[in-house]
């Protein structure tokens, strides 16, 4: 933007003669006898702000506006006639007219282009540009702010700066809000507005027209719950004022030398900039930049986490309301409690941490209540969905209650707040278990010192728990609901119950061999079918894997993972109790000629997609982030509707956020599914699971096993075979006979292609599971698949042979051409 000091030479004499009292620079006031013409400016007394005519951006139109005088890179912070541009620099002037209006007038015909407004009159009005940047109309001799006739701070354009208040005054019933420019060339009112919204409990709201696009989250005494850029700083103060006359947000710098403004940009983003010591504008922050800031992006009870892919998830103990829509990435329906509320029987509250608090439009507050009183109030009202502290300073105080569904929740791991969400009391049972165990632990310690027999103590602890749980209703017989091993929140079954359910572990009930023990089918007294995995008595190795599985699976919840119902640890016996899967495991059906007919292509494709989602959950979305390490057809269980569930977490490894790769001394897994870098170097990573998934996909498509595959034309395994067909454009030949419906050819080809991308030799080339899920679900070009790892079985086995070490990995950097099939 360029400010023009030029006046047309021809008009100069005219101007000069008519306006003897025209303002020269460095005056801060316009009176009834002094006028301001284009080319002249007024400046606040300390020289900070300047008011005059300007042209924005590339526009030739003229506007009356205000900017910081000392900063060469001119930023206009206020515009008077934003809706009515001047097309000519001449003949227009700004003057004060009695009884108290500041007007922008066409000199030649007296037409008023823009005017201030007032409900009061004074004898000798003046317009004065104050040092704060507030242009006020007032009585000459009265400096009381209460008596100003008009002030520009009450009519901001797109920019807020020190001294302004965004919000409401009930006295004038006037709202001060920001509205964006149309573009940087056009200061007229754009699409976006930014409001201080005190409804319920204050938050700032950015709207596009009437549509809410962003809410900051409620004020928490320190900042808006979701605005991390607001930080305590000795250079400025800011805050929210709420009383019966006013409700506003203010921002003040404590030193005049600090210049900082917040602007609602033409694109709806709010930008805070400040002037650095070399007098240059620097951007401090921009809001609305991440997708999780979009109002209600993940729907009710959906939690948006920008670190996740996809960003939307349901809170723990919540499920997608419309699972199909959710899978299609339509999050608008949000999530619902997996166990419906039952207010009359007494609901409970569960604590969720690290979040940007939900929309407070339907909220109530009490500043004097404690958190405990807050809970009591919320509990009593069945429509109260959550509560938390109103103010987070000094350890938290006050009470904020939410009515209606919770929406606009974002995960802020470092700076988020706690919230207590209403939940069915049955969800708490597990947490009570947790408490019971902790208290049992304490009791145990005390007793150990008084008694000497550890065994006696454990028995005492157990019987106490049994007593406690038998008194509780709703606990199925035999499922005593107690808890085991630290805090895994697992229901405990007792041995007689399991024994009875499995017909004393009858061989007729045997379902198969799991990673470390036999699996039995059982039926509980209430008729529920279960699968019991029993750790072989002597296996030490097995104990590790058992504990590993407990630790992993107990914390996982996903519809494509097998569900752990509980466990049983008694004496030497250690067992895990799972829900029963009537269709056993995938290998059982897939590789059986007769049974495989049950799996038509839509079912197969469904299985591929669901396994991908389950694996994605393990890798990215679960709290623990897990590498399965033994993904294979026999570990995919099928429920009555042939929905797959990933099982067997004996080998799974949890990993921290950053370490996505680890090395292991002992290579464990299943031939045919293990990636080259794992077999050769013991390196396992998310990408080793991706490899196994790729093998599984090719097995599902072809109905043939990778390990033990043979073909009359070549010596390659299934991967090699699929690769050759792919290279020759004959991928469809891989398909088993049951899937020859041309309607599905696209999905089939896509699956094979994705499968081959997953089994590429170099881990870096393989896609992540989030990409895999995306590629399977969406049409679109896929990258060319490179050569698979282990396309022949004889390539690098035996695993521990040191001579073969690195053969597969080092070749990742070389380009290898595949031997042509004969």
Catalytic residues: 630
- Residue 353 or 381: the one with the smaller Cβ distance to ligand NAG is 381
How many whole angstroms separate alpha carbon 279 and alpha carbon 72? 8
Return the H-helix or E-strand segment holding 373.
helix 371-380
For the CB of residue 309, give the shortest distance to ligand NAG in the complex, in Å: 19
Per CB under 6 A, 86 contacts ligand NAG? yes
- Residue 366 or 643: the one with the smaller Cβ distance to ligand NAG is 366
Torsions phi, psi of 139, nearest 5?
Answer: -75, 140
Could you give the 3-state DSSP secondary structure of residue 448?
helix
* DSSP count for the chain of H helices, then E strands: 15, 45
Q: Which of residues 475-514 bind ligand NAG (CB under 6 A)?
A: none
Q: Which long-range contacts (CB under 8 A, 24 or more apart) does 20-27 make?
A: none
For the CB of residue 432, give the shortest distance to ligand NAG in the complex, in Å: 27
Do the beta carbons of residue 505 and residue 611 sit within 8 Å?
no
Residue stretches of the annotated binding site: 533
Give the angle 754-755-758 at the CA atoms, nearest 5°: 85
- Residue 332 or 425: the one with the smaller Cβ distance to ligand NAG is 332
Per CB under 6 A, 281 contacts ligand NAG? no
Window contacting ligand NAG (CB under 6 A); options: 68-76, 102-110, 385-393, 695-703:
102-110
Q: Which two tokens stand for residue 144?
A: 């009381």
Nearest to 621 by CA among 199, 337, 317, 310: 310
How many whole angstroms separate alpha carbon 672 and alpha carbon 683? 16
For the CB of residue 782, give the shortest distance to ligand NAG in the complex, in Å: 24
Per CB under 6 A, 257 contacts ligand NAG? no
Per CB under 6 A, 90 contacts ligand NAG? yes
Residue stretches of the annotated binding site for ATP: 533
**The one among 3, 91, 397, 707 contacting ligand NAG by CB under 6 A:** 91
For the CB of residue 3, give the shortest distance to ligand NAG in the complex, in Å: 17
For the CB of residue 84, give the shortest distance to ligand NAG in the complex, in Å: 9
How many whole angstroms separate alpha carbon 554 and alpha carbon 548? 10
Per CB under 6 A, 283 contacts ligand NAG? no
- Residue 320 or 461: the one with the smaller Cβ distance to ligand NAG is 320
Return the H-helix or E-strand segment holding 244.
none
> Which residues are CB-contacts of 81 (< 8 A; sequence separation ≥ 6)?
63, 64, 104, 113, 114
Window contacting ligand NAG (CB under 6 A); options: 26-34, 89-97, 707-715, 752-760:
89-97
The binding track of 141-180 with respect to ligand NAG, each residue x by CB under 6 A or -, is ----------------------------------------
For the CB of residue 162, give the shortest distance to ligand NAG in the complex, in Å: 9
Question: Burial letters for 252-268: b for 16+ Cβ neighbours within 10 Å, e otherwise?
Answer: ebeeeeebbbbbbbbeb
For residue 239, the number of C-alpha atoms closer than 13 Å in the C-beta half-sphere is 9
- According to DSSP, the residues that pair with 285 across neighbouring strands are 272
Burial (CB count within 10 angstroms: exposed 0-12, middle 13-18, buried 19+), residue 804: middle
Per CB under 6 A, 92 contacts ligand NAG? yes
- Residue 366 or 792: the one with the smaller Cβ distance to ligand NAG is 366
**C-alpha distance from residue 789 to each of 398, 691, 714, 722, 805 (Å):** 61, 9, 17, 12, 14
Window contacting ligand NAG (CB under 6 A); options: 209-217, 232-240, 579-587, 601-609:
232-240
- Residue 96 or 501: the one with the smaller Cβ distance to ligand NAG is 96
Q: Are strands 29-30 and 270-275 parallel, antiparallel or unpaired?
A: unpaired
Do the beta carbons of residue 8 and residue 90 sit within 8 Å?
yes
Window contacting ligand NAG (CB under 6 A); options: 40-48, 103-111, 181-189, 524-532:
103-111
What angle, 0 to 180 degrees and rounded to 10, lies between the N-to-C axes of helices 745-758 and 686-702? 150
Q: Are strands 135-139 and 125-129 parallel, antiparallel or unpaired?
A: antiparallel
- Residue 117 or 810: the one with the smaller Cβ distance to ligand NAG is 117
For the CB of residue 338, give the shortest distance to ligand NAG in the complex, in Å: 20
- According to DSSP, the residues that pair with 236 across neighbouring strands are 233, 253
For the CB of residue 259, give the shortest distance to ligand NAG in the complex, in Å: 9
Spell out the alpha helix ranges (H) of 482-620: 495-501, 540-554, 586-590, 601-616
**The one among 25, 170, 257, 284 contacting ligand NAG by CB under 6 A:** 284
How large is the C-alpha radius of gyration of the chain? 36
Q: Which two tokens stand for residue 1?
A: 């933007």
Q: Evaluate the CA torsion angle 188, 192, 195, 199 in order and state its sign.
A: positive
Per CB under 6 A, 109 contacts ligand NAG? yes
Which position has the token pair 């006046």? 7
Do the beta carbons of residue 429 and residue 230 sit within 8 Å?
no
How many whole angstroms separate alpha carbon 248 and alpha carbon 168? 6
Do the beta carbons of residue 165 and residue 247 sit within 8 Å?
no
Per CB under 6 A, 235 contacts ligand NAG? yes
Q: How many residues bind ligand NAG (CB under 6 A)?
A: 30
For the CB of residue 767, give the shortest distance to ligand NAG in the complex, in Å: 25
How many whole angstroms separate alpha carbon 783 and alpha carbon 173? 61
Torsions phi, psi of 145, nearest 5?
Answer: -55, -30
Per CB under 6 A, 468 contacts ligand NAG? no
Q: Please state the separation of Cα 331 from the chain's center in Å.
A: 12
Window contacting ligand NAG (CB under 6 A); options: 140-148, 229-237, 532-540, 784-792:
229-237
- Residue 37 or 704: the one with the smaller Cβ distance to ligand NAG is 37
**The one among 83, 233, 290, 740 contacting ligand NAG by CB under 6 A:** 233
Which position has the token pair 């509990």? 379
Per CB under 6 A, 106 contacts ligand NAG? yes
Per CB under 6 A, 239 contacts ligand NAG? no
- According to DSSP, the residues that pair with 54 across neighbouring strands are 63
For the CB of residue 106, give the shortest distance to ligand NAG in the complex, in Å: 4
Peptide bond into 99 cis (omega under 30): yes
**The one among 87, 449, 538, 742 contacting ligand NAG by CB under 6 A:** 87
**The one among 260, 424, 609, 647 contacting ligand NAG by CB under 6 A:** 260
How many whole angstroms separate alpha carbon 60 and alpha carbon 185? 9
How many whole angstroms separate alpha carbon 138 and alpha carbon 148? 5
- Residue 257 or 353: the one with the smaller Cβ distance to ligand NAG is 257
- Residue 260 or 483: the one with the smaller Cβ distance to ligand NAG is 260
Per CB under 6 A, 108 contacts ligand NAG? yes
For the CB of residue 88, give the shortest distance to ligand NAG in the complex, in Å: 4
The binding track of 314-333 with respect to ligand NAG, each residue x by CB under 6 A or -, is -----------x----x-xx
Q: Which of residues 331-390 bind ligand NAG (CB under 6 A)?
A: 332-333, 364, 366, 368-369, 373, 381, 383
Per CB under 6 A, 801 contacts ligand NAG? no
The binding track of 387-416 with respect to ligand NAG, each residue x by CB under 6 A or -, is ----------------x-------------
For the CB of residue 56, give the shortest distance to ligand NAG in the complex, in Å: 16
- Residue 116 or 717: the one with the smaller Cβ distance to ligand NAG is 116
Per CB under 6 A, 119 contacts ligand NAG? yes
Window contacting ligand NAG (CB under 6 A); options: 228-236, 297-305, 449-457, 754-762:
228-236
Per CB under 6 A, 821 contacts ligand NAG? no
- Residue 10 or 20: the one with the smaller Cβ distance to ligand NAG is 10
**Residues in the site for ligand NAG, rule: CB under 6 A?**
86-88, 90-92, 106, 108-109, 117, 119, 233, 235-236, 260, 272, 274, 284, 325, 330, 332-333, 364, 366, 368-369, 373, 381, 383, 403
């Amino acid at each position: 933007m360029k400010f023009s000091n030029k006046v047309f030479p021809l008009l100069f004499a005219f101007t000069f003669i008519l306006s003897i009292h025209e303002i020269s620079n460095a005056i801060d006031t316009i009176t009834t006898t002094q006028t301001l013409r284009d080319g002249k400016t007024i400046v606040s007394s300390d020289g900070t702000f300047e008011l005059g005519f300007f042209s924005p951006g590339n526009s030739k139109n003229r506007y009356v506006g205000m900017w910081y005088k000392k900063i060469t890179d001119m930023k206009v912070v206020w515009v008077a006639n934003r809706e009515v541009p001047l097309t000519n620099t001449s003949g227009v002037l700004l003057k004060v007219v009695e009884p108290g209006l500041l007007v922008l007038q066409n000199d030649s015909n007296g037409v008023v282009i823009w005017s201030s407004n007032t409900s009061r009159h004074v004898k000798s009005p003046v317009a004065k540009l104050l040092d704060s940047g507030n242009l006020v109309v007032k009585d000459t001799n009265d400096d009381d702010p209460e008596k100003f006739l008009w002030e520009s701070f009450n009519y901001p354009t797109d920019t807020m700066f020190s001294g302004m208040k965004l919000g409401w005054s009930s006295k004038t019933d006037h709202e001060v809000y920001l509205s964006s420019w149309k573009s940087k060339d056009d200061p007229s009112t754009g699409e976006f507005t930014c409001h201080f919204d005190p409804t319920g409990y204050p938050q700032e709201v950015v709207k596009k027209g009437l549509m809410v696009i962003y809410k900051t989250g409620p004020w928490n005494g320190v900042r808006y719950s979701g605005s991390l850029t607001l930080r305590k700083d000795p250079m400025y103060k800011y805050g929210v004022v709420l009383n019966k006359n006013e409700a506003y947000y203010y921002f003040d710098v404590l030193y005049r030398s600090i210049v900082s403004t917040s602007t609602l940009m033409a694109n709806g983003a709010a930008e805070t900039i400040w002037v650095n010591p070399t007098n240059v504008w620097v951007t401090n922050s921009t809001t609305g930049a991440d997708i999780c800031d979009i109002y209600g992006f993940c729907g009710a009870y959906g939690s948006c986490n920008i670190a996740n892919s996809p960003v939307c998830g349901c809170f723990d103990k919540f499920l997608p309301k419309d699972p199909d829509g959710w899978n299609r990435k339509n999050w608008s329906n949000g999530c619902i409690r997996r166990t419906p509320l039952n207010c009359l029987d007494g609901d409970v509250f569960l604590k969720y941490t690290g979040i940007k608090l939900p929309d407070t439009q339907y909220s109530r507050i009490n500043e004097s209540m404690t958190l405990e009183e807050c809970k009591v109030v919320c509990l009593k009202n069945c429509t109260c969905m959550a509560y938390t502290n109103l103010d987070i300073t000094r350890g938290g105080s006050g009470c904020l209650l939410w009515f209606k569904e919770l929406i606009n929740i974002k995960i802020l791991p470092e700076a988020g707040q706690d919230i207590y969400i209403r939940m069915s009391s049955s969800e708490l049972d597990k947490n009570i278990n947790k408490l019971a165990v902790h208290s049992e632990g304490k009791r145990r310690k005390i007793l150990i010192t008084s008694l000497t027999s550890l065994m006696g103590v454990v028995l005492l602890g157990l019987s106490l728990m049994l007593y406690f749980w038998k008194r509780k209703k709703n606990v199925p017989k035999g499922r005593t609901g107690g808890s085991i091993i630290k805090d895994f929140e697992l229901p405990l079954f007792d041995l007689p119950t399991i024994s009875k359910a499995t017909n004393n572990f009858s061989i007729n009930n045997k379902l198969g061999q799991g990673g470390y023990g036999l699996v039995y089918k059982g039926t509980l007294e209430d008729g529920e079918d279960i699968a019991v995995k029993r750790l072989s008595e002597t296996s030490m190795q097995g104990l590790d894997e058992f504990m590993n599985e407990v630790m992993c699976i107990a914390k996982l919840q996903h519809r494509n993972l097998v569900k752990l119902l509980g466990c049983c640890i008694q004496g030497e016996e250690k067992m895990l109790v799972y829900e029963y899967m009537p269709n056993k495991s995938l290998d059982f059906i897939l590789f059986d000629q007769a049974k495989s007919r049950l799996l038509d292509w839509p079912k197969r494709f469904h299985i591929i997609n669901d396994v991908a989602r389950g694996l994605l959950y393990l890798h990215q979305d679960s709290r623990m982030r897990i590498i399965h390490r033994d993904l294979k057809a026999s570990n995919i269980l099928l429920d009555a509707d042939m929905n797959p569930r990933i099982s067997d977490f004996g080998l799974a490894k949890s990993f921290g956020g950053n370490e996505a790769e680890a090395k292991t001394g002992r290579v464990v897994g299943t031939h045919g599914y293990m990636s080259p870098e794992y077999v050769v170097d013991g390196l396992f990573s998310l990408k080793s699971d991706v490899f196994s998934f790729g093998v599984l996909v090719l097995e599902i498509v072809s109905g043939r096993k990778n390990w033990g595959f043979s073909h009359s034309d070549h010596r390659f395994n299934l991967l090699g075979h699929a690769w050759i067909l792919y290279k020759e454009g004959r991928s469809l030949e891989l398909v088993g006979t049951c899937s020859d419906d041309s309607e599905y050819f696209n999905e089939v080809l896509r699956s094979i292609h994705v499968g081959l991308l997953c089994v590429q030799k170099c881990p870096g080339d393989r896609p992540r599971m989030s990409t895999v899920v995306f590629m399977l679900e969406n049409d679109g070009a896929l990258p060319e698949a490179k050569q698979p790892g282990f396309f022949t079985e004889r390539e690098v086995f035996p695993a521990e042979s040191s001579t073969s070490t690195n053969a597969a990995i080092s070749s990742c950097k070389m380009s290898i051409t595949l031997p042509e099939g004969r």
